[in-house]
């Protein structure tokens, strides 16, 4: 697998922008287990990207998520609720094909470093 030319996250002043995070395991492969496992892993990868820039999920102000199947929305929402709390970040969820074979979800965020 070729590593794409991107940073997991970048800062611009107090703003932190993450790249889209997939459900890649430590070996770089998309994790097995369906949308539940992929949502948990993609969000864990998102949290790690934020941490690398000195932020936590509580600092997130906007999330964009891509799902390949609209039926996966409930499972994504369940994992999302475990990571984020109120006040909820603004969010857009889009149904689309994804570039990585086997990926069911991709998620990115904008955070405000405090």
pTM confidence score: 0.95
For residue 1, what pLDDT band results from cuts at 50, 70 and 90? low
User: For the residues 81-90, what does the mean pLDDT come to?
Assistant: 97
Pick the more confident residue, 4 or 24. 24
Whether residue 106 is predicted with pLDDT greater than 80 in this model: the reply is yes
User: Cα dihedral angle (23, 28, 29, 34), rounded to 10 degrees?
Assistant: -20
Position 3 scores a pLDDT of: 72
User: Cis ω on the peptide bond leading into residue 87 (within 30° of 0)?
Assistant: yes
What 3-state DSSP class applies to 80? helix
User: For the residues 9-20, what does the mean pLDDT come to?
Assistant: 98
Order of strands, sheet of 105-112, starting from the edge strand that comes earlier in the sequence = 9-12, 15-18, 105-112, 60-67, 90-95
Domains defined along the chain, listed by start: 9-112 (3.30.1330.40)
Report which DSSP code applies to 29: S
User: For the residues 59-83, what does the mean pLDDT come to?
Assistant: 98
**pLDDT tens track for 34-54:** 999 999 999 999 999 999 999
Average pLDDT, the chain: 96
Burial class (CB in 10 A: 0-12, 13-18, 19+), 88: exposed
């Amino acid at each position: 697998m070729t590593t794409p030319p991107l940073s997991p996250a970048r800062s611009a002043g107090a703003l932190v922008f993450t790249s889209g995070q997939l459900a890649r395991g430590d070996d770089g492969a998309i994790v097995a287990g369906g949308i539940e496992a992929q949502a948990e892993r993609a969000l864990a990868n998102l949290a790690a990207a934020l941490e690398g820039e000195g932020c936590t999920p509580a600092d997130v102000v906007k999330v964009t998520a891509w799902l390949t199947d609209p039926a996966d929305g409930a499972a994504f929402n369940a994992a999302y609720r475990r990571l984020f709390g109120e006040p909820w970040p603004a969010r857009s969820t889009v149904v689309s094909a994804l570039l990585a074979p086997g990926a069911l979800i991709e998620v990115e965020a904008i955070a405000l470093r405090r």
